[in-house]
Structure formats: C-alpha cells, structure tokens
Chain A
C-alpha cells in the first residue's frame, strides 16, 4: 500500500524566518530616526562634564559649536598635548573665532542672527584659561548667548 506511506519524519518543522526582515527593518527605522549624523569630525578629546540643572537646546540650526579639548593621539605629534580649539573640521586659534562667527552669521537669514547661540563643547579636563580667552573673543564679537554643553547627570561624576 504505497499510497499510504508516511511522508512525515519525526523532525520539527523549521521556524519561518520570513518576518525577520520586518523586525530588522523596524530596528533600522528606529535608529535612523533617533540618531543624527555628526556634522564635524572630532579631532580632540571631548568628554563633556555632567550637570543636573540643564536646559534643553532647541533649534539646532541656530547653534554654533566650538569644541575645546586635548588633541587626539593621532594629532598629538603635530599639535602637542595642550588643549586646543576646534572649529568645524580643523584646529583653530583664538583669532579664527572672529571669522568663524562672521561666517556663521552670514550663512543664516538676517532675522535669525540675534537668536544664534554659541555652544561650548569643552572637555572636562581642559583648563579654564583657554575657555576664558574664548569667552573674551565672543564678547568682542558680540556673540553673548552661550551654552556650556553638558551631559545630564550628577556633578559628583566630574573629576
């Protein structure tokens, strides 16, 4: 009675992986939406300090970023180990801040210029001397709205 041969073997049926792409796509979309591309490549160490009385910065297009910190190891041969300023993608000196601010202002619509904020992203191990110099330059350029960018956390984590 070949007709009634048992076709089934004892094995478990394979789990369908047809919905795996859906799951992965879901994750993919989450990451695409939740993250933003970093606009500048950091050439310095930038470990931000912690603070808990923080305010949120909105209007991301109206922020000018100034990075300060020790050059990363790959650049230490060229630029030394002292804290440096980074504007956009390259190392800069104090005198470059003036042209940087002017360029940023020129790239924005005129009515938005008064709302421009300078975000100081300073490494927690940087010295205040350089930060003070930067602040003095900003005052000269009349860029008075500043923000010390920090991570949200307890200040006891600052060492």
Chain B
C-alpha cells in the first residue's frame, strides 16, 4: 500500500476565530486617560499657628462665580486674558532691598508683587462653579508659571524646563544628571508654584 501522508488541517476558519477575539478586545477595552494637573492640598494644621502676614499686593485673587464668570483683582476678566495677567503679576518684581528680584522682567509696579517667591495666586470658587471652568482657570494659571519657568530656563541654560525634565528622565541621556537636577531645582525655586485653592 502506498504511504499515506497526514491530511492537512484546514486553517480557513482561523481568521474567523482571530476576528472574534479582536472584536471582543475592541469592545471591552478603553484607552484610559492618565494625564492631568497635579496639585498638592495644604495639610490641616491642628495647632493654632499664627498665619504669616501677607501684604495685599502680593496676593492675586481669582474668583470664579456660579455663572462661570471670572473676577481677577476685583475686576471682570475674560479667560483668554488671564494667563497674561498672571504672568505680569508674578514677574512684576516690585520689591526693593532684600525683596528685590534680579531676574524679573516685569514693570516693577510698587502696587503689585514683590518677587515671584512672595507672590501668591489665590483661586476661589463658588459651589455652583462648573468643574470644566475651574480646570480651564487652573490650566491657565499653571501655564503662566510654566511660561516664566521656561523663559528663565532658556536664559540660563538654553533649554526649556520641559526638555530638561525629559532629559532627566531619559535613561540614554549623556550628561551629568546631578547638575541637571540642581538646575531644575533652581528654576523651580526661582519661580515657585504658589497657588492656593481656598475653600
């Protein structure tokens, strides 16, 4: 009798099985968003600590009311103007003597902030404020800080802060990570993010 070869398995339905699996995964999975604005809440302090005296001119008040209108320093403002106003306030550098700011490029208005370290942005909202609006405002304020930090980083090291941080996290980056870390720290100290979310 002639040698019989094993019959070939029909692979025609393999595609159907794979399609079935594919459709299952397509339907059941979602690409999760994992980006956002990081914030740090102030701790609740039990002891009665004297609150430090902050001069009125060092506080930049942003209030969002229940109808999603924006009031900045007691004046109505459009959302698109907020970033510029915040930059002007933070970068004012109106202080003299000990409080002087050597790297600020602002107008040095004596009625605005002394230096970026003293300047505090106070964000207030009402209970009826929409969350979407609140995030928009937070985003603009963070953008103001980022803009100033990037400008300072370009001046000092010729790179934006984002690039420096990307380099720092990059395993393949050739260079001294210690100095890079110090440089990043320095920028963050010169323009600290002092954003208070008042309840």
Contact = CB atoms under 8 A, between A and B. Distances in A.
The DSSP consensus for interface residues of chain B is mixed
Contact of B129 (A34, A123, A127): A127
A158 interface: yes
Contacts of A25: 18
A130 B43 CA distance: 19
Interface in A13-49: 17-18, 20-21, 24-25, 27-28, 31-32, 34-38, 48-49
Nearest to A32: B25
Contact of B22 (A27, A122, A139, A143): A27
A36 B199 CA distance: 36
For A18, A20, A119, the residue with the greatest tally of chain B CB atoms inside 10 Å of its CB is A20
Classify chain A's interface size: 35 or more
Contacts, number: 161
Contact of A128 (B30, B35, B125): B125
A127 B18 contact: no
Classify chain B's interface size: 35 or more
Interface of A: 17-18, 20-21, 24-25, 27-28, 31-32, 34-38, 48-58, 60, 68, 117, 119, 122-129, 131-132, 135-136, 138-140, 142-152, 155, 158-159
B130 A55 contact: no
Given A28-B18, A135-B199, A146 B39 contact: yes
Interface of B: 11-12, 14-15, 18-19, 21-22, 25-26, 28-44, 64, 79, 125-136, 138-140, 142-143, 146, 197, 199
Contacts of B34: 56-58, 60, 149
A21 to B, nearest CB: 4
B129 A150 contact: no
B132 A136 contact: no
B35 A149 contact: yes
15 contacts: A21-B18, A24-B22, A35-B30, A36-B31, A37-B28, A49-B131, A53-B37, A129-B126, A132-B127, A142-B43, A144-B40, A146-B41, A149-B35, A150-B33, A151-B35
The DSSP consensus for interface residues of chain A is mixed
A104 B19 CA distance: 38
Given A55-B37, A144-B40, A124 B135 contact: yes
A149 B129 CA distance: 18
B132 A144 contact: no
A134 to B, nearest CB: 11
A133 to B, nearest CB: 9
A144 B146 CA distance: 22
Contacts of A58: 34
A155 B136 contact: yes
Closest CB pairs A-B (n = 6): A129-B127, A124-B132, A35-B29, A158-B132, A24-B18, A21-B14
B39 A147 contact: yes
Contacts of B21: 28
A50 B135 CA distance: 8
A52 B139 contact: yes
B25 A144 contact: no
B43 to A, nearest CB: 6
